Amino acid sequence: MKLLVTGGAGYIGGVVVRLLVDAGHDVTVLDDLSTGHADVVPDGVTLHEMSVHDVGSVLDSSFDGVLHFAAKIAAGESVQFPERHYHTNVIGSLALLDAVRAARVPRLVFSSTAAVYGNPQEVPITEDAVKAPTNPYGWTKLSVDAAIGAECTAHGLGAISLRYFNVAGAYIPAAGDALGERHDPETHLIPIALDVAAGKREKLQLFGDDYPTPDGTCVRDYIHVADLAAAHLLALDAVEPSRHKVYNLGNGNGFSNRQVVDVVREVTGRTVPVEMAERRAGDPAELVASSARAASELGWVPQRPDLHSIVADAWTFYQSRG
């Protein structure tokens, strides 16, 4: 298939691009490089360095599908600067839908998120659970999911929203460069804890220990970036015209922030000094996925569900970067 990948120079999009190219697809990347890196895009893949707001100048009827990763991603930032998230995630995605409609592109795979659920009434969270985001980031993704659903009904688009839980680890291929998280500034728990383990930061601040969880810190479900990326290829094949399908992607195992730090200590063999800090505004207490629907309908089976292997791959990548 001829595919456009927005955000394909980013952490997750970059791994998906690699898998798509390996599977023989003809891939084009659109990315403004605001958080991504041009060197992630493989040789032979065209990179349009531009904003998703201008995607109409790139997309034409020769494309068979779009995978839409380009977004602002940090939930905490979205509380402080909601306008950034609405501008990129909502207005940018609406520009994409306009371009998809104009060019009659038949397939869309969208990066949605566990953040659409907010504080769940039950865990694990199924796709039918109540959606009550606790931060603007989650609201932007929920509103785009709704816009995509309406687009499919009205105009025949076939789309899949993949609701990722916490993506972590690195893609370590047998040949070629490894791909991992390179956000600047970094906001995610695991790469920050690795920075501390490596001595690049003095200590890790843990945001809140008074949540209604077993040890008081937030609980998340970590999914290996390579497992997550594999789901996108399955999704491309599962798209059906005029339908919008939604799948949660996680391992179904919750780890508290303290437990994550313990795993980082075990994997690295280093000390990770921790300092308790205030809650980070907008954080839900617990996000753990039921991915039963993705298993039964997409045939998706994570190959690296163990948090130790996820952190070990992140650490291998971290060390490879010196």
Ligand X SMILES: NC(=O)c1ccc[n+]([C@@H]2O[C@H](COP(=O)([O-])OP(=O)(O)OC[C@H]3O[C@@H](n4cnc5c(N)ncnc54)[C@H](O)[C@@H]3O)[C@@H](O)[C@H]2O)c1
- Which positions lie near ligand X, rule CB under 6 A? 6-7, 9-13, 31-36, 51-52, 69-71, 73, 88, 92, 111, 113, 164, 166-167, 183
| The entry of ligand UPG, ligand X, none that residue 90 binds, CB within 5 to 8 Å by partner kind | none
| Site stretch for ligand UPG (CB under 6 A), options 28-36, 122-130, 184-192, 299-307 | 184-192
Given 137, 211, 222, 318, the catalytic residue: 137
Would you say 70 and 108 are in contact if contact means Cβ atoms under 8 Å apart? no
- For the chain, the distance separating the N- and C-terminal CA atoms, rounded to the nearest angstrom, is 37
Select 34 or 62, whichever has its Cβ closest to ligand X: 34
DSSP string, 7-45: TTTSHHHHHHHHHHHHTT-EEEEE---SS--GGGSPTTS
CB of 1 to ligand X, least distance (A): 20
Burial class (CB in 10 A: 0-12, 13-18, 19+), 295: middle
Task: Provide the β-strand partners of residue 219.
Answer: 256, 286
Smallest distance from ligand X to CB 211, Å: 19
Q: Which is nearer to ligand UPG, 12 or 152 (CB)?
A: 12
Name the segment binding ligand UPG (CB under 6 A); options: 67-75, 102-110, 265-273, 310-318: 67-75
Helix (H) or strand (E) holding 314: helix 307-320
Cα(63)–Cα(91) distance, integer angstroms: 22
Residue 163-182 contact track with ligand UPG, rule CB under 6 A, x = bound: --xx----------------
Q: Is 318 a catalytic residue?
A: no
Min CB(17)–ligand UPG separation in Å: 19
What's the CA gap between 82 and 103, in Å, rounded? 31
Task: Provide the b/e sequence for 41-70 (b: ≥16 CB within 10 Å).
Answer: bbeebebbeebbbebeebbeeebebbbbbb
Q: Where on the chain is the footprint of ligand UPG (CB under 6 A)?
A: 73-75, 113-115, 165-166, 187-189, 192, 204-207, 218, 220, 257, 280, 283, 287
